[in-house]
């Protein structure tokens, strides 16, 4: 069964410093996608970054980068130059990409990591 594990319930980082949020996953599929979402206190899920299982390069989006280590089944999020507005809950999620009957593209989420940025 597919599973996402985020082992850090809470993290602190000083403003302007970089922080790494851990995510490991478990799947028997060869084709899958990995996502990171940010959930501020307002509740909406904001898409940050995506990595496909066949992508050879690590994904980057502005201050966000995904450290993808396929053999270790890890997909850690790195936030550079942290800002006060980065304080939120962060979720790692996985989605099957393989075509086949019953594949809806639903996301499997981890438990989340609460990040607090200190001024």
Partner 1 sequence: GAGVSQSPRYKVAKRGQDVALRCDPISGHVSLFWYQQALGQGPEFLTYFQNEAQLDKSGLPSDRFFAERPEGSVSTLKIQRTQQEDSAVYLCASSPIGVPPYVEAFFGQGTRLTVV
Residues that bind partner 1 in the complex, under the rule CB under 8 A: 4, 33, 35, 37, 42-47, 50, 52, 91, 93, 95-99, 102-112
What pairs with residue 20 in β-bridges? Answer: 78
Please spell the DSSP secondary structure of 34-66, one letter per residue.
Answer: EEEEEE-TT---EEEEEEETT--SPPEETTEEE
Of 37 and 82, the one with the shorter C-beta distance to partner 1 is: 37
Of 86 and 96, the one with the shorter C-beta distance to partner 1 is: 96
Of 35 and 68, the one with the shorter C-beta distance to partner 1 is: 35
């Amino acid at each position: 069964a597919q599973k996402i594990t985020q082992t850090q319930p809470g993290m602190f980082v000083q403003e302007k410093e970089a922080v790494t949020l851990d995510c490991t996953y478990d799947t028997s599929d060869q084709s899958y996608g990995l996502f990171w979402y940010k959930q501020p206190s307002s509740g909406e899920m904001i898409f940050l970054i995506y990595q496909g299982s066949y992508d050879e390069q690590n994904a980057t989006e502005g201050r966000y980068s995904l450290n993808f280590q396929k053999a270790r089944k890890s997909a850690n999020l790195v936030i550079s130059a942290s800002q006060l507005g980065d304080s939120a809950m962060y979720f790692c999620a996985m989605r099957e990409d393989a075509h086949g009957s019953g594949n809806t593209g639903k996301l499997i989420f981890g438990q989340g990591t609460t990040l607090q940025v200190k001024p």
